[in-house]
Chain A
């Protein structure tokens, strides 16, 4: 059953890079090459300096020169952080992980399209932003092991075998007390009233028959005891209409949804925001079709939208019509 894999096939798929750098292809990339790639393909999500918290958690920040010496990021200790949230370089102990992940999964909407030297370059650029290597540095398979010795959190990982092995003991103990057990009979935490409807109306997320209903979270909690007011009204809410499935498929297959939400800004504006902005414009459809094909910048801010030349005119028009219809 099955057949032997050819050497070329193994080479095509065996792309993983281990902490000892087994699997790392030969190559080299400078900080400045990395910067060029970064500006074109990475900065729109991660920020010019890898600091952005807009789309993904920040990559750069929170490490110090002292951390590079000790191999332990001080900011990971209680109350010691110098940035609002943990960044990639505060946590990651192994440089191989960074190289492998960029090579495997980046850019977000076109993974595995960077050349080997570009992966080295982007990695070098990040290392420079994190002040691990100087601005004139070229990272290669020859010197990467040396750079590993400067990773700020290289000594920050601990292996706890009981949580890895299925027959481990675990680290937290409780006993099965049955009667008059010691508890602190206060509510230590509860959902604040302002968050009551943060997850929508829970009445619409429960069945209409059975021993319970969903609470109507669009209204304050009932005041009287159970049964004193009207019982919650049972409602069935049909699932939200899925809109134009063909257009949705186009949006997904062309990675439009990587930058635009239907109802929210991601990198660029939400489709509903675009619809609202150009509502009533006589040439709306033609205008949007042109924008989709040619790309642009400045209408919504400084982040450019790359041209979508791969779209046929018919497909671009279909998307434009869907946006013009309010992005249902």
Chain B
């Protein structure tokens, strides 16, 4: 920890509730005293000691301490007031949100996770980003079926009862939409990390390994080069998965963060394809087909393809490469004061675990290595943080992640040099946040 820390920790802002300037505070006190005085003059029955007591408190210390709040002097609520607990009412600002103007149809749209206000590596299920292609459903699990067909010895049908009896794994993985951060390919377009990076979340998923199911059905290992995953919703999303992936760490999952999947995230069954873009994590999974060729489905032949400078499109680019972003302080947040900050953010890689994260406060000229908060898991969010003492001058914050393959997160100009500016997907460039002298943080591109 930096030695400057001792100078700044515990620095109290001159206001009991942290939002009034000293002048305003004094004005408020005066007004209250005037009111009290008037009330007395009008014989409103206020004890004469009150105004004096208020004055005394201001001199002696903070009201928040000296005047016991009702929760210290009253009876609170009973158990099971709410059979499924909810966040505090004070946390209501943190919501999944849409990005205005991004899509025109709400059933084929996306909502963004408020990364700017989250901690650690697990995304609360209710704040998990959503991406629907033809609206979401809440499906009766007793009627849901999973079929395995194609190049297998035994074409089989499984109920949820069957699947949930099988040997399960529980693993923490990130899911990131292939189009996450797409708004920033050409220039800065959105204000905050919720909208630049919010199409990603990280959860613990529980289910049966896809390889277990494929082995049970007698998969043809010689000819079966690919599997097709298909959903049961209107879009019946279909995605080609490489057999190596399918037999490695893909999970046919029914649970997320200790409870069944949320309907918006595929209840009662979804595919988990660690490290691969979210669209392959087929929701409402109804079918797995084993085949010997790729399928060129709509979302791998028209969308989720990368427009290259020579006019070709890259097809079947599924891996979400190493990426990181600072979440606090981040775009459209405002620092309250100069002094010490614990700069923190998230790093992840679809190719393995995070090895190191470096942070710059001068736009990428000099870097320091950040602390990794545990746990550090493959194909999962890793939380990093680092000390920074802000002197009040303009600063440009960046984070740069390195994964277990040695790959270093690129700068936006390096990405553009290879892929041009007309691409949409797989934008994993270093993100810059400009801290201005007024304390506000804004989204900028510096490289």
Contacts and interface: CB of A to CB of B under 8 A. Distances in A.
B201 interface: no
B113 to A, nearest CB: 12
A103 to B, nearest CB: 10
A168 interface: yes
A174 interface: yes
Contacts of A179: 366-367
Given A175-B408, A181-B364, A158 B315 contact: yes
Interface in B264-287: 275-276, 286-287
Which residue of B104, B238, B291, B342 has the most chain A CB atoms within 10 A of its CB atom? B104
Contact of B296 (A78, A93, A191, A231): A93
Contact of A1 (B158, B335, B409, B437): B158
A78 B309 contact: yes
User: In this complex, which of B97, B166, B312 has the most chain A Cβ atoms within 10 angstroms of its Cβ?
Assistant: B312
A173 B414 contact: yes
B90 interface: yes
Contact of B311 (A72, A111, A202): A72
A108 interface: yes
Given A1-B162, A97-B298, A211 B187 contact: no
B29 to A, nearest CB: 16
A258 B103 CA distance: 13
Given A183-B363, A212-B336, A174 B446 contact: no
A14 B152 CA distance: 14
B147 A105 contact: no
B365 interface: yes
Contacts of A64: none
A178 interface: yes
Contacts of A196: 191
A9 B147 CA distance: 9
A15 B236 CA distance: 10
Interface in B1-45: 13, 15, 17-21, 24
Contacts of B244: 165-166
A257 B426 contact: no
Given A9-B147, A252-B135, A104 B235 contact: yes
- Is the interface on chain B under 10, 10 to 19, 20 to 34, or 35 or more residues? 35 or more
Contacts of B159: 2
Residue of A108, A167, A187, A213 contacting most chain B CB atoms (<10 Å): A187
A22 B117 CA distance: 49
A304 B262 CA distance: 36
B312 A157 contact: yes
Give the interface residue-count category, chain A: 35 or more
Contacts, number: 375
Interface string B290-304: 010111111001100
- Tell me whether chain B's interface is mostly helix, strand or loop, or mixed: loop
Interface string B83-101: 0000001111111010111
User: Which among A77, A158, A159, A186 has the highest number of chain B CB atoms within 10 Å?
Assistant: A158
B171 interface: no
A207 B93 CA distance: 6
B157 A231 contact: no
A78 B420 contact: yes
B92 A238 contact: yes
Contacts of B422: 78
Contact of A164 (B101, B238, B317): B317
Contacts of B447: 183-184, 188
Interface of B: 13, 15, 17-21, 24, 89-95, 97, 99-101, 104-108, 114, 116-117, 133-135, 147-150, 154-159, 162, 165-166, 187-192, 194-195, 216, 228, 230, 234-236, 238, 242, 244-245, 248, 275-276, 286-287, 289, 291, 293-298, 301-302, 305-319, 321, 328-329, 332-338, 341-342, 350-351, 356, 358, 363-367, 392, 400, 402, 405, 407-411, 414-415, 417-420, 422, 426, 434, 436-447
4 tightest CB-CB pairs across the interface, nearest first?
Answer: A226-B439, A163-B317, A77-B311, A202-B332
Given A13-B286, A211-B341, 16 more contacts: A16-B228, A19-B295, A56-B108, A74-B311, A76-B312, A78-B309, A97-B301, A156-B313, A188-B447, A205-B194, A211-B335, A222-B438, A226-B438, A227-B336, A231-B13, A232-B19
26 contacts: A1-B166, A4-B155, A16-B228, A16-B297, A18-B295, A54-B104, A74-B311, A88-B302, A91-B301, A101-B302, A111-B234, A178-B366, A181-B366, A181-B367, A205-B94, A205-B95, A205-B194, A207-B93, A211-B328, A214-B192, A225-B439, A227-B439, A232-B19, A233-B19, A234-B18, A266-B105
